[in-house]
A = this chain, B = another copy of it.
Amino acid sequence: MRLIVVGAGIVGSACAYAASVLGADVTLIDANRTGRATSAGAGIISPWSARIDDAAYTNLACSAARAYPALVAGLAGEGETALGYRQAGALMLADSTQQQEEINQRLLARQAEWPEMGDISLLDPGQARELFPPLRPDARAVHIGGAARVDGRLISAALRRVAGRNGATVIPGDAQLRCAHGAVEGVTVAGELLEADAVVAATGAWTDAFIEPAGLTLGVTAQRGQIVHIGLGLTDTSRWPAILPSDTGHYMLAFDDSRVVAGATRETGAGFDYRVTPSGLAEVLNQALAVAPGLADGTYLETRIGFRPMGPDIRPLLGAVPGTDGLFVATGLGASGLTMGPYAGQLAARAALGLSLPVDLGPFSPVREQ
């Protein structure tokens, strides 16, 4: 079975990796688009704490988190250990003991089903700052021991490399979908047709343009995110937990290299406008400094920009596209791309190869009723 995966972000790279493990004849094609969400995304893996009231979404996100450790171990077995991955925990911030308790209850209610969240503990401000020293002095927190973080660029590249060593072909190029008689024929790259039995569009915010030859529109749009990187000199940040303030949608996380990442704007309607703006930058910095004033004298390193693929609702678009045999999409992961991406890619690979699935993709149908 010849499978073509278009888009080498985390979803497409994971899809090619999974398909290569399953023995498929895989080609992964990437156009190297500016603003790929994977390259800008933060990488917090802590779905248990989300305030999203959608069972299908929650199940997918938590299943994705469950699958992460085995994926990381599998990659390590292939000699790929530099993923920026670390189970450093997360702090959900609370303004009061009451709010702290509410968060605690919400997590405990899910803990039986999702034990991967690890130990849950209530931290007073002093304890919270011990784990993340720049925090404001009065921040209470709930600590989620099983939360992790990952570097989207690194893990995607590692997935691609192992896919390649498993036999997948990984090529640059701007792929155009080719359909005929209600089925995919393959894609053209630089004028040449590459035939395939199935095509997975892991094309992120560019999905609607890619599947246009299939004659339908899925309503995937680009949500711009601006995300700030702050250096902290010689400080060892490698064990710092991710920070999840309660209400703002903003967050922070740290990587090994004395770096804290603060994000992010959620700019709907900005289109593919790859720019750092004064208001976006101010928003991210103000939110970060309000929560972690200890970052004030760090070093501003850079602002990354990503275009998150947003479907018509919170759920990813995952599965076969009706009306065109052999066409599958895996996109719409929004702000959860680095959490759900590897799992979504794996599901897409299995679906495209006609294998059984551990999850019902019905709720994620690309053309579902809303």
Residues of A whose CB lies within 8 Å of any CB of B are 8, 30, 32, 76, 79-84, 86, 154, 157-158, 160-161, 164-165, 170-172, 228, 230, 233-234, 236, 238, 256-258, 275-279, 281-282, 285-286, 288-289, 295-300, 303
Contacts and interface: CB of A to CB of B under 8 A. Distances in A.
7 contacts: A230-B278, A278-B288, A278-B289, A281-B285, A281-B300, A282-B285, A300-B303
B160 A236 contact: yes
Contact of A296 (B238, B279, B289): B279
Contact of A300 (B164, B172, B278, B298): B278
A76 B296 CA distance: 33
A162 B286 CA distance: 33
Contact of A279 (B86, B281, B289): B289
Given A170-B234, A171-B234, A234-B160, A296 B278 contact: yes
B157 A258 contact: yes
Contacts of A164: 236
A300 to B, nearest CB: 4
Contacts of A256: 80, 82, 157-158, 161
B296 A32 contact: no
Nearest to A76: B81
Contact of A289 (B161, B282, B299): B282
B285 A299 contact: no
B286 A286 contact: yes
Contacts of A289: 278-279, 282
Most buried by B among A32, A84, A86, A297: A297
Most B C-beta atoms less than 10 A away, residue of A76, A165, A228, A281: A281
A238 B161 contact: yes
A305 to B, nearest CB: 11
B79 A82 contact: no
